[in-house]
Every structure is written in structure tokens, then in C-alpha cells.
Amino acid sequence: MGEARDGVKVKRVVFVTVGTTCFDALVKVADSQEVKDELYRRGYTDLLIQMGRGSYLPTKSTGDDGSLAVDYFTFSSSIADHLRSASLVISHAGSGSIFETLQLGKPLIVVVNEDLMDNHQSELAEELAERKHLYCARPLTLHQTIASMDLNSLVPYSPGDATPVAKLINRFLGFPEES
């Protein structure tokens, strides 16, 4: 999978995204040697971190010395492009990021921010993890999750459909049924 036809390694990008939040714990752990080594061992070549409003700056690396190439940025209007070109996405638990990634069919590890007061977001990640659509981790367990994950066991997510809701709204308001 990581080999191109000519035998040269192709880029396999891990994209880390925190959305518009401030989630230094995730950026820090993604930049830790432990996690980077594990990602490299599993055949990933690039680590791209979208760090949002956080203040921790990862160490950039070109990856020439046989390790993971690391790059980061704060915000981008083209998150979708980064998601599309990624081989693995590690995301904060925002529902927007989660569903955007799942709808692109990308393997996803959601890292729950334990510092948030009202942490209902972990509910969604845990429920989707139970249904095997993604992996759910905490900053401290990300390393183990990467080491033990089996991407082939993930179940593709089929997006929810708003049609039943629309139908009930129409019926309630007395509009004739759609044919």
C-alpha cells in the first residue's frame, strides 16, 4: 500500500486537526517522539498538524533522515483538501470534523479533549467508536491506539438522512406528501 509502482515510497499523510479550538494537548502528543515513531513504523511518511488557536509549536522536520516529515499551520480555508489527501486523520471531537472525515471515507482517530468543561463531545466519539466507524482516544492513549489499530476492521459510515425529519415537518404543516 505504501509502495508506488516504481518502488519509491509514496506520501502517506497523517492529518491532525483541532478545528477552531485550542487543543495543545493533542498537538503536543502528536508531536511526541513516541507517536511519531509509531506512525513511521506503520508506514506513514508525513505528519501535517492544523493547530488552531493553540500556542504549542511542533518541531518542523523535512523527514530526510529516515523519519516522519512534520509540518504545521494554524488555520486553513481548505481543510477539506487536507482531509482528502490524508491517509489517516487524527481529529478533535467536534461533530463537524468527525462527519466530514467519515463522509470522505478516511480512517479516523478522534482524540477527546479532557479539559473541556461540558464534554458532551466525547459521547458522539464513543458512540461512533462502539459502532466501529472510528477509533476514540485520549491524548495519553493515542500512542497505544495507533499501535493497536486495525484499519480494515473499521465499518464505513453511511451519512444520516434528513428526509424522515423533512417528511414529518411537511406532514405537520399539512403539505401534501411528496410523490
Partner 1 sequence: MEKNSSFCFSNLSSNLPITCLITFITIFLHRVLNVIYRTGKPLGKRVSPQRPLSTLIVLGSGGHTAEMINLLLVLRKERFTPRFYIAAATDNMSLQKARVLENSLADSSETKGLSAEFMQIYRSREVGQSYVTFVWTTLVAMAHALWLMIKIRPQVVLCNGPGTCIPLCVIAFFFKVVGIRWSSIFYVESIARVKGLSLSGLLLYKLRIADQFFVQWPQLQRKYPRAHM
Q: Which residues in this chain contact partner 1 in the complex, by CB under 8 A?
A: 19-20, 94-96, 99-100, 120-121, 123-124, 126-127, 160-166, 168-176, 178
Which C-beta is closer to partner 1: that of 7 or that of 174? 174
With contact defined as beta carbons under 8 Å apart, do 74 and 51 qualify?
Answer: yes
CB of 157 to partner 1, least distance (A): 12
Which C-beta is closer to partner 1: that of 21 or that of 67? 21
Q: How many CB atoms lie within 10 A of CB 160?
A: 9
Write phi, then psi, for 91 (nearest 5 degrees). Answer: -130, 160
* Beta strand extents in 12-168 (DSSP E only): 13-17, 46-50, 69-73, 86-91, 108-111, 135-137
Which C-beta is closer to partner 1: that of 71 or that of 126? 126
CB of 179 to partner 1, least distance (A): 12
Q: How many CB atoms lie within 10 A of CB 169?
A: 11
CB of 126 to partner 1, least distance (A): 8
